[in-house]
Amino acid sequence: MFKILVLILIFLSLLCLVIFAQDEAVRFLCSADKSELGMDDVLNLKITVEGNIPGNPKIELPKLEQEFFIVATSQSEDTVIKAGKSSTIYVSNITLMPKRPGEIIIPAAKLKVDSKVYKSEPIKIKVIPAKPFKELSPEDQEENGGQEQTTL
């Protein structure tokens, strides 16, 4: 009987440790909305940090300006409460336009929480050259009411 009671106490103690360890977990993810794009297209880079993090997370981004024009940025912060436990989700969105065609690797981003450093995975992007502008023939212009169309 005593051994069973001790085993139950050990099991409950380990279960509590696992639950508390999960509460302290940090999830760090960097993702892109596409793996291939044209020179005239944009790429949306999303950086997500989730966990019980004191203050704003300190994210070290790779040098994006070498390969991309930064078109826009936005940030959001949400707090989620599940079973009485709170967790904060930080999301940064960066809209990028490539500077050159070819294969581009976005290096890993880094996050430091207390003394722990988290790294995202590098992201491989293929940038294809923009399609050349096609001028309308006189027949096509007549079909469009004599109006020339331009593509930006």
Domain assignment of residue 60, given as a range: 27-130
Give the pLDDT confidence score for residue 2 in this predicted structure: 58
Q: Tell me how far apart the alpha carbons of residues 151 and 135 are, in angstroms, rounded to a whole number.
A: 10
pLDDT computed for residue 8 by the predictor: 52
Domain count for the chain: 1
Assigned domain for 31 exists = yes
Which uninterrupted H or E stretch holds 82? strand 68-82
Q: Which helix (H) or strand (E) holds 143?
A: helix 138-143
DSSP 137: P
Q: Is residue 137 part of a domain?
A: no
Domain membership flag for residue 22: no
pTM: 0.68
> For the domain that residue 114 is a member of, what is the CATH number?
2.60.40.740
What pLDDT, on the 0 to 100 scale, is given for residue 18? 39
Question: Residue 132 has what pLDDT?
Answer: 72
Looking at residue 80, its pLDDT comes to 86
Domain-embedded: residue 143: no
The stretches in the chain having pLDDT less than 50 are 5-7, 9, 11-12, 14-23
User: Is residue 90 within 8 Å of 48, Cβ to Cβ?
Assistant: yes
What pLDDT, on the 0 to 100 scale, is given for residue 6? 44
